[in-house]
Each structure stands twice: as structure tokens, then as C-alpha cells.
Amino acid sequence: MKLNETSMKQLFLAASIIGLLACSPQQEAQATANSSANASAAFNTSYLQQMGFTIESAKESSIPGVYEVITDQGLVYVADDGKKLIGGRIYDITGSEPLNLSENAIRAMRQRDVAAVADETIAYKAADEDYVVTVFTDPTCGYCRQLHNTIESYLSKGITIQYLAWPRSGLQGTAYQQLKTVWCSADQKAALDAAKNDKRLPAASCDDPVAAHFALGNKFGVRGTPAMVLPSGELIPGLVDANRLLGMLKQG
């Protein structure tokens, strides 16, 4: 069919309008970033700060009018006016089973924070490393000792174990003092080995990270030791033997 001049002009105009409405990937990414920045800027954090929270990030959640906020005490949800705090997790119940939508944000938080303190860990490296598992430990904990005394079974399966300090009794008492000494020792591994076998530790002091590790564990949801953080950011409470742990790691 032959188009007349009027039809050609109409087609050209339509194509021009479509071109104006279509965003490039760069434009879409910029629009998303601007939207997130505007959302965070509009969110009132003053009430959370009054409660003692340190705000790390805030963005709109999957529920209209509710923000997902990462704080120094973990993930919380807050109404968009900043005046109402919501405890718990958000689940999508449209599928055959409830889906925990909060877990992705929590795991990403743990992954980021573990990476930030990797240089502060006491690491027992596998010769042929496939996985790195971060373990919050207390030298007075029986299950922590059991894990440590069988650490070769983890290393032989390609699992590096890197420790962070988490004294179960808090920032006081024997475990706290032992962990401070361990992290300040010239040979941290030897000191940790000794502490987990009731051997006397030589005196050592420094600007240690034990209190910061303890706060990090609390933020992650640690309630006892050992507590394992997998590469996926999943938190596993309690002792898991090497064979079972390897199976969990392979599943992702």
C-alpha cells in the first residue's frame, strides 16, 4: 500500500513519540537510583535515632508506606512518617508456601559486614579452599571446643573456618577477657588453641575488636555459640559437623 504524505508525517510523529518514551538501560538505572535517593531523603529517621539506632540504609519495602531500614541493630521496618516501628519479617503468601522477603536483605547485610571485618578474623585456611565459613566463637563454650578440636575435618573438605569473637556472657567475665587476650596475641591461632583447651594465656593487650565483633553478632541475630555465617549470608545456629555443613554449602 502506498502511503501519502500525510500518512508518512503521522508515522514519523508516532515513531518520535515512542522514541521519547523509551529509556535506555543507563536512563532506567539512573531513574531507579534517583528514586531510591529521593525515597531515602524523604524518610524521617529522627525517631529511630532518638531510640539509639544508627541508620545504615533505608529504602521503600514491598509494602506501600513501609520502609526497610538496616541499622546497627539489624533490619527493622518503619512507617514512612518515621513514627511507627514494626517488628518481625515480611512474607509473600501468594505462593504455595510463604516466602520470607526479609531474608534476602538480612543475608546481604551479613555478607557485606563479614567482608568488612575479614581482616579481623582468625582464619584456619583449607589447603584447597572451596568455601569460607565465618564462626562466632567463645572459648568457654563446649560446642565451640568440639568444633575447634575437629577443625581438620572441615579443612580437609575445602572449608576454611574464620573466627569472630562472641563472648556469651557479654562484655565481662572470663570469656570476654580470654577473647581480648587471644586477639591481642602475637600468635592468635596458638592463643585460641590454648584458650579452647583451658591452657593459661600469656598477658596481651591492644585495641582489640572483641566488643565490635560482639555487637556485629547481635546485629546478625546471634543468640549463642557457635554460630556460623555461610557465604550466602545465611546464619546457622549451633554446631554443624563437617559432612552436613559441606552438604549445606553445596546446596547454596
Query: Helix, strand, or coil here: 71?
Result: strand
Q: Which of 23, 92, 113, 138 is catalytic?
A: 138
For 149-166, give the DSSP string: HTHHHHHTTTEEEEEEE-
How far from each other are the two terminal CA atoms of the chain, in whole angstroms?
58
Catalytic residue flag (residue 206) = no
Catalytic residue flag (residue 112) = no
Q: Which of 110, 145, 168, 184 is catalytic?
A: 168
Are 217 and 136 spatial neighbours (Cβ–Cβ below 8 Å)? yes
Say how far apart CA 125 and CA 209 lie, in whole Å: 21
The C-alpha cell that represents 208 in the structure block? 582489640
Q: Which of 141, 206, 207, 244 is catalytic?
A: 141
Query: Helix, strand, or coil here: 173?
Result: helix
Are 120 and 173 spatial neighbours (Cβ–Cβ below 8 Å)? no
Mention every residue, 6+ apart, whose C-beta is less than 8 A from residue 128. 158
For 116-133, give the DSSP string: HTGGGSEEE--TT-SEEE
Say how far apart CA 166 and CA 133 lie, in whole Å: 15
Q: Which of 144, 184, 187, 193 is catalytic?
A: 144
Are 249 and 159 spatial neighbours (Cβ–Cβ below 8 Å)? yes
Cell 575445602 found at? 158
Q: Which residues are catalytic?
A: 138, 141, 144, 168
